[in-house]
Chains A and B, each alone.
Chain A
Amino acid sequence: MQEKVLVIDYEKCTGCRACELACSVFHTGASNPSRSRIRVIKWEEIGLYIPLTCQNCEKPFCVEVCPTKACHIDPKRHMVLIDKNLCIGCKTCILACPFGAPVYDKVEHITVKCDYCDGDPQCVRFCEVGAIKYLDVAEMSGLKQYASAEKYTKALRKLPGA
């Protein structure tokens, strides 16, 4: 179990893509969003922007299909990480991931993915509206419970006679 996770509230995201820039500058030194580990998926017509990155699945499929064991679960940090020196750039993990989280770096010719910037995620620092947060797991699950309880209350209030 991880200690801290990235929590994304896509309803707050404005689609400014500062997170992409911050990520690419931190990891590659280049201001190039196409090399970013986080991707904002845009639904322009309904005005919805969803920053997506690795979800660190419990049973990651990218790890299963990786032929070189470059994609592995780090036992210390309980995260899915890609070893730069082993990756051969076969893109199998990209196809296998249901979130499209590993991205192919066209400059380095390998697949890269989010590693929480070694404990200080830059996307969180640069997100002005607070759509991306780096929270303790306990705190996150509390927030989730709170949100679902609120939803449930709203639904109950709508019932006739409530």
Chain B
Amino acid sequence: MNTGRANPAIHSRYPKPQNEWGWQVVVYLYLAGIGSGSFAIGILMEWLGYSPYSLRPMILWGPILVAIGALFLVLKLGIKRRFLNTILNPKTSWLSRGFYILSLCIIVGVVVLGISILPHLGISVSNWSSLLLILDIIGFVLALATAIYTGILIQSVKYVAFWNTSLLPALFTVSALSTGAMAVILSTLGYSILTPSEGYPYQLMNALTLTEQILIIIEAIVLALYLFSRYKAEEYGKDSVRLLLSGNLRFVFWIGIIALGFFFPVILEGIYSRFHEQHFLLFLAGSLLLIGGFFLRSGVVYAGIKEQHPLERLILYQYNLRETRE
């Protein structure tokens, strides 16, 4: 990052991070990630038999967050009322395919959530078990697709070297699942504290906490691999990693992503495993983890540096500016 000061000619052309996609995309990635992750984890927990049926609405609220996130994606558009035009090119455009994935996920998810509320209103759904199973399977697949799609949307822009890797969808998917698991933990815990008569769902909470801890370890590994591969891959990828690790975005990375997203939640959960009555510890760990998830998305989006134009390289060679760049 300091080469710019040594050579002003290079400094003037130093690649700047993209500013086409801003906070709306970050909020969308975040909400869609949590929403789809929590929905997938919720359905999985029920299939594994950890969750009593009465808790279903508490673990399946994800699609609502996905819908709110999708609204932010519409907010990003220049002419918002034309957002339905995005259905026109599913053949090649991922933005267009995403419209279908997102709307299907929201519709199926809201239907599943709606059916899960029916028993609380006194309507029996015991005859619909096969229909519910099919809806659950479709919902699970769509939720996973939504989680993966958040990464693919960013990856599909090939000319930003920092994003152009299949590790990015992997990172976003794992992050979506870990933040989703934490969101489910928080909502279940909050519900069980507010309604003490129903008892504390120990089995569900233990399974969720274990899943979340495994996921956070995988997430850390994938993040390290992702940054390493980007640093090695291309010049602008290297610039992006530098920007994130030691440049203007270093606070976002070290405080937002590493400290809030990984370090403190792991420590707090470790302490919580000793003192099971201190629920505020888990709330604190969960909130920090969720904030960390937000910083992860914003770090990745704002650190994307686009190759300005191919002539830039030609000119660097032509005027012998190449060597001094490193």
The residues of A with any CB-CB pair to B shorter than 8 Å are: 10, 41, 43-46, 48, 50, 52, 61, 63-70, 86-92, 94-100, 104, 108-111
Is the Cβ of A69 less than 8 Å from the Cβ of B89?
yes
Is the Cβ of B315 less than 8 Å from the Cβ of A48?
yes
A50 to B318, CA, bound (A): 14
Is the Cβ of A66 less than 8 Å from the Cβ of B309?
no
Is the Cβ of A86 less than 8 Å from the Cβ of B76?
no
A108 to B79, CA, bound (A): 9
Is the Cβ of A97 less than 8 Å from the Cβ of B159?
yes
> Per a CB cutoff under 8 Å, which of B12, B78, B159, B309 touches A61?
B159
Is the Cβ of A88 less than 8 Å from the Cβ of B158?
no
> Per a CB cutoff under 8 Å, which of A44, A45, A48, A100 touches B308?
A100
Is the Cβ of B307 less than 8 Å from the Cβ of A67?
no
- 4 nearest CB pairs, A to B: A89-B78, A109-B78, A67-B95, A45-B9
> Per a CB cutoff under 8 Å, which of A43, A44, A108 touches B315?
A43
A90 to B93, CA, bound (A): 12
A88 to B95, CA, bound (A): 12
With A65-B94, A69-B88 known as contacts, the answer to whether A95 contacts B311 (CB < 8 A) is no
Is the Cβ of B79 less than 8 Å from the Cβ of A87?
yes
With A46-B319, A65-B94 known as contacts, the answer to whether A90 contacts B89 (CB < 8 A) is no
> Per a CB cutoff under 8 Å, which of A44, A45, A89, A100 touches B79?
A89
Distance (Å) between the CB of A149 and the closest chain B CB? 19
> Per a CB cutoff under 8 Å, which of B79, B315, B321 touches A88?
B79
With A43-B12, A52-B311 known as contacts, the answer to whether A88 contacts B20 (CB < 8 A) is no
Distance (Å) between the CB of B15 and the closest chain A CB? 11
With A44-B12, A45-B9, A64-B92 known as contacts, the answer to whether A90 contacts B159 (CB < 8 A) is no
Distance (Å) between the CB of A80 and the closest chain B CB? 14
Distance (Å) between the CB of B300 and the closest chain A CB? 14
At the interface, yes or no: B310 with Cβ under 8 Å from chain A? yes
Task: Convert B8-28 into 0s and 1s, putting 1 for each residue whose CB lies closer than 8 angstroms to a CB of A.
Answer: 110011000010110000000
Task: Convert B84-109 into 0s and 1s, putting 1 for each residue whose CB lies closer than 8 angstroms to a CB of A.
Answer: 01101100111110010000000000
With A43-B12, A100-B308 known as contacts, the answer to whether A65 contacts B93 (CB < 8 A) is yes
A29 to B99, CA, bound (A): 36
At the interface, yes or no: B287 with Cβ under 8 Å from chain A? no
At the interface, yes or no: B82 with Cβ under 8 Å from chain A? yes
Is the Cβ of B86 less than 8 Å from the Cβ of A91?
no
With A96-B157, A96-B159, A110-B78 known as contacts, the answer to whether A68 contacts B88 (CB < 8 A) is yes
With A67-B86, A88-B79, A89-B78 known as contacts, the answer to whether A95 contacts B160 (CB < 8 A) is yes
At the interface, yes or no: B306 with Cβ under 8 Å from chain A? yes
Distance (Å) between the CB of B191 and the closest chain A CB? 38
A120 to B79, CA, bound (A): 30
Most chain B CB within 10 A, of A63, A89, A104, is at A89
Is the Cβ of B20 less than 8 Å from the Cβ of A91?
yes
Is the Cβ of B92 less than 8 Å from the Cβ of A90?
no
Most chain A CB within 10 A, of B9, B89, B308, is at B89
> Per a CB cutoff under 8 Å, which of A43, A86, A92, A111 touches B85?
A86
Further pairs besides A61-B158, A69-B89: 12, Cβ < 8 Å: A43-B315, A48-B315, A50-B315, A52-B311, A67-B96, A67-B99, A89-B78, A90-B77, A92-B157, A95-B18, A95-B20, A99-B309
